[in-house]
Structures are given as structure tokens and as C-alpha cells.
Structure 1
Amino acid sequence: MSWARPVSLGTRLAILFSLSAATVFVAAGGLIEASVERHFVEQDMEVMTGKLDLVRHAIKKVRTEADLASLDERLGDAMVGHHGLEVSVRNMDGRVLFSTLGEKDVHPGLVVSSPTQSPRPEKWDDEQGQMRGFAASADTSRPDSAPLVVTIALGIDHHEQFLAAFRSSLATTLGICILAVSLLSWGVTRRALRPIRDVARRAQTISADRLDERLHMERVPKELFELVEAFNSMLARLQESFVRLREFSSDLAHELRTPLTNLVTQTQVALSRERSAEQYRETLFSNLEEVERLARMVTDMLFLAKSDNGLLIPNTEEVAMGEEVRALCEYFEPIASERGIKLMCSGEALVIGDRAMLRRALANLVSNAIRHANAESAVEIGISHRSDSVQIEVCNEGDTIPPEVLPRVFERFYRADPARTRDSEGAGLGLAITQSIIHAHGGSVVAQSDGRLTKFSVALPTTTRSN
């Protein structure tokens, strides 16, 4: 199934900038057009209200019926020379008293208009073109006389033609501006995003054998600092993981090679000539030891693989850690007494967890402490309560572990002194298994070494939880 390639960030920014600019330009164009049109309306109203004042002044002089009869002549003289302006005067009965129209009628566009003291312009189309006008009332000086209705209309074709041309020019200008802003936005965003492309190109050159390279921070914009720092941190973690993986692969090959070489050598020696049944039995016993060693190693590796994949789920039962520690001391007593090492245990605590797993973790710590303790010294296992956890400490006197080595003692197959023999040191998985078990119970284990005293501290929550 193929997916369409997503739109680039630069294109998205250019489109957003263009849309924003288009919105602003269109809004500004609308405001400009409205302002120009309003200006023409104000001009027209200025002309028409001036004529309205003139007509009202003439009507105000009407005091008798004779004055009313002569109104047509007086307004006709006042309207001479005003082309495009149409004025009509009628009474409330609809009789036309004056009109600049040839038929002496009120303009059709204003027949239904209601006269007011404050006229409001209206716009309409007729056979003469586009018009704007209003109807207003005008009072006479005759007592008990109703006001007259004055209608004034002005042709605005020349204004509308100008506005049409103005709108066309404005639309063309806005289109060119929007196109220019779009092109500039594309260019600016492309230039602004160049550091991202540089980072991407440099990141593409980094491979598994070049994990020591880092992205340079000198020319990176401030907005990309966190991204580049996170990428460099990821490379550092990957480099560390790859180094450990290479060391792990090398150590694993070495651990497997020794028992396999012993098996092949002993079998070849046994088959080199005829031997007695007792000699064959001794060879088989020797081979069995190597096979058991391989089986333990494979079992430990499978255990750690389950832990890495979150499949190490402890049982939940109440475990008396004091009893488990005393049982371990009894078990290791013969081994410790051979070197004059005294095992000392103290404390009581209850935790919820997997009894077999916790016993195995503590056994690895005690075995490790006995192995590295000085002869005629003591190994102390203490249990104590903290605010929300149970603390188990395994201490021994021996060679101080260098500070740079302490963070790696829980790595698989890691040994602080590679010169030590494999037989005496085991496969190098004990502490890694201990850490996996403690983490599976929601706890932690740390190592400290100072002044020839080495201490492994295990912290287990009072209610142990699984992964």
C-alpha cells in the first residue's frame, strides 16, 4: 500500500503565509473600497442636502395660497444649471407642486419613501441609470398647514463607473501582491529552513560505524537547539549501547568457546586410541560438567532475555526476608569457612514478591561477596526498614572497586579484572540477573566501594510490584 508523500514544512509555511497575506489584503481592499464608496455617498449627500436646504428655505416663505401657487416658478429658477439633479415637491395628498421631471411627477424610486426631517439616502436603478436620493419633509409658514414632501435624486452613473474601474484595478493589484507575497514566502521559508535541511543531511551521513559523530550546535537556530541536543543525546546512548553490545558479543563468544573447546579436546583425546570403560566414564563426567556449564549459561541468558522484553513477571506472595537470608548463610557457610570468612546476618522484614527469584538475587550477591572478600574477614547481610521500602545490604572487605568500574558491575559478562580466571569467577551473569530480578519487583540495587569496603544495597518496596 503506497502513501502520498506529505507536504513539506516549507510549503506549508509558504501556504499559510500566503493565505494570511491574502486575508489581510482582501480585508484592506474591502475597507478601501468601502471608504471610497462612502466618500462618494458623502459627496452626493452634501449636494442634495444643500438643495434640500434651498428648497426648505423657499417653502418656509409660503404664507398664503398665492405663495404656494408661485412656488413652482421660484424653485424652477433656483434649479437652473443643476444637471443630473431631480427635485420634486408634493403635498400630503400626492399633488405635485414642483418637479424637475418633464412629467412633473415624483421620481418613481422615491414614491414609497416616508419623509423625515433627517433624510436617509437610497439607491436604485431606472431607465435613466443609477440614482441616489431621499425624501424629506418641509414645513411652510401657513397656519394649520401640513408639511410638504420634498424628493431629491441625483444620477450617480459616473461614480459607479469610477468604482467599477477602481474595483478592477484594486483586484488586479491585490492579486499581484498576493502572488508576490506567495513567492517571497516560499523563498524566505526555504532559506529559513535551510538549517533543518543541513541537520538532516548531516544526520543521513551517520551510520552504525560513525556513531561518534555529533551534530554541530554553532550554526543551529535557537529554535532547533532542543531538537539537536536530543538527537546528539540519542546518538550518545546508541553509541554506548553499541559498545556494550560489541563487548557483550565478544564476552559471550569467549564464554562459549572455553567449554566447547574443552568438550572437543576431551572427546578427541578419548577417541585417539582405545581406552578402558573407566577412562571413557571419566571423559563423559568431564564433558557433562562442561555441558552443564553451557546449560546454566543458556538458562541465564534466556532469563535475562525475558527480563529485557518485560516477560519477567514475579509471583506475589509474602516473603520473610530474614528467614531467606539465614537460610542462605547456612547454605554458604561451608564455602565461606574454607577461607575463614564469617557470615553475619541481622534484621527482619516482610515483602510481597517471588520467593524463588528473591532468593536467587540474594544468593548471587552473597556468593559474589564471599568470592571477593579477604580471607579471615566477615560478610555482613543486614535488613532494615525505611519509610516506604525494605533495605538489604551485603557488605564485604576486599579490594576496592574503582569508581569508573562501579557503574558497569551489573553488565553481563563484565569483570573488573579480565585476568581473573573464568572458573573462579563464573559466567559473569550473576549481578546482571540480580539487577533484573530487583527491577522486576519494582526495586533498585546499587554498588558502593570505598576504603576496601564494598557494599551492595537492595531497596524493595513494602508492596512489591511487577513490571
Structure 2
Amino acid sequence: MQRSSSIAWRLALAFAAVCALVLSMIGVFLYRSLAGEIAYRDDLALMGRLEQVRALLQDSDSLDALQARPRLYQNMLGNQESLLLVRRADGSTVIGINPRQQRLPELQPIAQELRPQRRDILLWPGSDQVPVALLAGQASGPEGEVLTVIAGKILSEREQMLASYRLRLYLAVGLGALLAFALGLLLLRRGLQPLRQLSEAVREIDLRSLDRRLHSTGIPAEFREPVQALNAMLARLEESFQRLSQFSADLAHEIRTPLHNLLGSNGLALNQPRSAAEYQEVLASNMEEFERLGRMAENLLFLARAEQADAALDRQLLSLSAVGAQLCDYFEALADDRQIRLENGFYGELWADQQLLQRALGNLLANAVRHADPGSPISLRRRDEAGWCWLQVHNQGPAIAPEHLPRLFDRFYRVDPSRAEPGDSGGLGLAIVRSIMLLHGGQVRVASEGQTTVFELGFAVL
């Protein structure tokens, strides 16, 4: 099995992708929270520095004394990342601490009576593309002179810290995704172990063990429905195989009888000389057997075609009265031979395939004429139910025993095999009726009580 088509690999990759996405979102949240917290603290420190310088300038006796103590300001700043400028109104510098000689933009200082806010801080790209945070404000110097104080901080340390944190986040997300993939693949393979066991159990079932069923106890709940579906499929396969085996046996039995008759009659005809009339009698008998075999082959071909899933129907809106009249005319001669009266009680219209409907009703009428009592009537009737139209064939004659009713529509099944007559369907007539009704999505049923037998064809009415 290729890895690209493996469910375990696909789910493990999806699990890893989801974990990577979740870790990335958490990492972005933590990164932004850390960056915001660091920026907040830096801004507070910068605003505090401006306030300290303002207080220092206000408390100083003279500017010369302030200029004489540059180390004081350097110690106050604490590192090489900070800068401090104090300028007079004419632009001259009183205090200038700018370790990296950063080029500064023109700043609009806040009034000395206003306290600095975070919105007053300006982020400047800096000369070496390292951001610089700048804050400018007016201050009152000795003798009330108005000075401009510029406090700043080079953010290289912050950028390095955040870059290192980003790198750790990338590594954490990558390693987390790999770990999630490995663990997910391991867990999925363990979780799919019942599926492999199920495959092994299915692989051991062959034609000789179709009666075996898969165990549905002790398996995960997700596999119970597929197991039940497989067991149902095995039951259908077993039933179909049994029907096929029974059909093969019945077909061999049905074919054997006419073949034995042909072999016997031909053997007797060859054993001794016979007259032309006797040979004609043998040939006529053989023709009956050949016709019987031909009808059997034709019926089997029809059944095979009718049971195909893609068999097409030519549905038409039929007049049931006209269909019944045609059938009665066709079987009138056969019915007259037995003094049987045909009554057409069909009415209304029905969507159906005309040829198939006529064949189904014709098979039922042929059986009815063959088994009805002489002189009795055979009637065609219609009965409507909710959503169904039932076409009935009533005949009077010997009742069919209840044990035969469920098997009447099986292939080659006869209630009394000794009553097989020339021209019958070889035990396939009612099987053809059932196949035709299955094609129409309908039903077929039979009831036999007392001296009345009723065959019914049910069509769904939209």
C-alpha cells in the first residue's frame, strides 16, 4: 500500500497540520503578548526618564553645573542603548549623550505642564535600521529657561530578544508537528488494528464458508455498522449462492428429462427397422422435446436479462380494459376447449411496459386455464389500495396447499411435477412473472382458499 493512499498517513498528517496550526496560533499570541509587555515596560521607563530629567533640571542651580557632571547622566541611563539630549531654545546642546551618534528627526516636544503619554513616543527607524524610541518634552531650567529634553532608547536589545523568541517558537512548532505526526501515526496504527483483524477474517471466508459471520462483539463502535453491513452482505451472498446451486441442480434435472426422452426414442428407432409412419411419429415426439428445450432456453434468457440492474422499461400509459380484451381474445380458443369462460373486469389506466405486462398476465392466464375446473369462469379484476393498483386473476379449481404457496414463484418449482403438460413453461412461468414485477418495482402474491385461487400483481401508483 502506498503511503499517499494510507488512511493512517493521511490522518497523521492532518493531525500534525492541526497541531502545527494550533501551536502557531498560541505562539503568535504569546509572541505578541511578550512584545507588547516589553514595549509597555520600555515606554514606561522612557516616560519616567523624561520626568526625572525634568525634575533634575528644575532643581539645578545652573546649566554649567549640569554640563560639568556628564557621568551622572550616563549612570542614570545605565547602558549604551539609551540616549539623552537637552537643548536650549537656540538649538545649542546642553547635555548630549548619544553613544551611537544616531541621527534624530525633528520632534514636537510636549508642553512642560503636561505629563508624557505612550502616544507621545515616536518609533524612529534609526541610522542602522534598528528602531529607536524617542520622547521629547519641554522642561524648565535654572532661572526659568525653557529647555527641550529628548529621551530615547535604541531597541536593538528588544529586537534581539524577540528574534530569539521567534526562533524558539519556530523550532517548537516544527518539533511539535513532527511529534504530533509520529504519535498520531502510532496511535492510528494501533487504533486500526481491529480493521486489520477484520480484513484477515474476511480474507478467510470463501465459497465453502459463506455461513461464517464476523464477530461484532469486542470491536470499536465505529466498526460495528460496517461489520453488520458485511454480515448482511455475506447472508445475501450465501442465499444467492444457494439459489444458484439449487438453480443449477434444477436446470440439470429439467434438461435431463427431455434429453433422456430424446436418447431413448432415438435408440429404439435405431435398434430395428421401422416404417415411415413410425419414423414420423418418433420425429414428431422429438420435435415436442426440442420445443420444450427451446422454450426453456428462451425463458432462461428472458430471466437473465430481466434480472440485470440496467434493464430498461418502456413505460406507457396503458388502457387496462384494452389489455384485458387482447388477452381474453388470445386465450379464447384454449379456454373454449375446456368450456371455460373468460371475463374481463379491468378498467382504468396504468403506467407499465406493455409487452412485459401482457407476458406476466398471459403466464397467469395460461396457468389458470390449465388448472381451472372445466366450465368455470376465469375473471380479470382490478382492486385499488392506498398507493397501489392490484391486477387479479381469479380461477376456480383445486386449492393449492399452503406449504406450496411460498415457493410457487421459484424457478422450476411445480406443485405436481407429474402434471407437466406439453407447451407448459417448464416451471419458469411464475418466476418470469416475479421478475417482471421486480422490474416494475411492484409485488406479486397468491392466495388459495376453498375452490378459488387468486394471483395478484401490485403496481405502485404515484
Q: Same fold (TM over 0.5)?
A: yes
Q: RMSD in angstroms over aligned alpha carbons?
A: 3.8
Q: Structure 1 pair 312/42, CA: closer, same or farther in 2 (3 Å)?
A: closer
Distance in 1 between residues matched to 2:315 and 2:84, nearest whole Å = 104
**2:104 corresponds to:** 110
Distance in 2 between residues matched to 1:266 and 1:19, nearest whole Å = 82
SS of 2:444's equivalent in the other structure is: strand
Note if 1:98 corresponds to 2:95: yes
Query: 1:436 Cα shift?
Result: 3.5
Contact 1:76–1:100 (Cα < 8 Å) also in 2: no
Contact 1:14–1:186 (Cα < 8 Å) also in 2: yes
Distance in 2 between residues matched to 1:113 and 1:187, nearest whole Å = 62
Query: 1:226 Cα shift?
Result: 2.3
Note if 1:120 corresponds to 2:114: no
- Counting only pairs closer than 5 Å after superposition, residues 59-208 of structure 1 correspond to structure 2 as 59=57, 72=67, 77=72, 80-84=75-79, 85-91=82-88, 94-101=91-98, 108-116=102-110, 117-118=116-117, 119-120=120-121, 122=123, 124=125, 132-140=132-140, 148-155=147-154, 162-163=161-162, 165-208=164-207
**2:277 corresponds to:** 278
SS of 1:288's equivalent in the other structure is: helix
Paired residue type of 2:192: L
Query: 1:169 Cα shift?
Result: 4.7
Query: 1:207 Cα shift?
Result: 2.0
Contact 2:341–2:375 (Cα < 8 Å) also in 1: yes
Distance in 1 between residues matched to 2:270 and 2:417, nearest whole Å = 33
Percent identity for Structure 1 against Structure 2: 31
Deviations 1:103-150 (A, max 9, x none): xxx9524334444543325365667x96643122225489998x7543
Deviations 1:194-220 (A, max 9, x none): 222222221222223322222211122
Q: Which moved more, 1:221-230 or 1:69-78?
A: 69-78
Query: 1:237 Cα shift?
Result: 1.6
**2:40 corresponds to:** 42
Paired residue type of 1:49: M
Query: 1:314 Cα shift?
Result: 4.3
How many corresponding residue pairs? 447
Contact 2:58–2:139 (Cα < 8 Å) also in 1: yes
Query: 1:335 Cα shift?
Result: 5.0
- Counting only pairs closer than 5 Å after superposition, residues 374-385 of structure 1 correspond to structure 2 as 379-384=378-383
Paired residue type of 1:182: F
Which ranges of structure 1 fall in alignment gaps of 5 or more residues? Answer: none
**1:321 corresponds to:** 323
Distance in 2 between residues matched to 1:445 and 1:276, nearest whole Å = 54
- Counting only pairs closer than 5 Å after superposition, residues 235-250 of structure 1 correspond to structure 2 as 235-250=234-249
Query: 1:333 Cα shift?
Result: 2.1
Query: 1:291 Cα shift?
Result: 0.8
Q: Structure 1 pair 91/27, CA: closer, same or farther in 2 (3 Å)?
A: farther
Q: Structure 1 pair 149/355, CA: closer, same or farther in 2 (3 Å)?
A: same
Contact 1:408–1:414 (Cα < 8 Å) also in 2: yes
Which ranges of structure 2 fall in alignment gaps of 5 or more residues? Answer: 111-115
TM-score w.r.t. length of structure 2: 0.81
Distance in 2 between residues matched to 1:230 and 1:358, nearest whole Å = 35
2:332 to 330, 333, 350: 330
Query: 1:295 Cα shift?
Result: 1.3
**2:430 corresponds to:** 431
TM-score w.r.t. length of structure 1: 0.80
Deviations 1:36-65 (A, max 9, x none): 343433333333222111123345679xxx
Paired residue type of 2:203: Q
Note if 1:399 corresponds to 2:372: no
Q: Which moved more, 1:33-42 or 1:191-200?
A: 33-42
Distance in 2 between residues matched to 1:461 and 1:22, nearest whole Å = 57
Q: Which moved more, 1:244-253 or 1:129-138?
A: 129-138
Q: Structure 1 pair 89/234, CA: closer, same or farther in 2 (3 Å)?
A: same
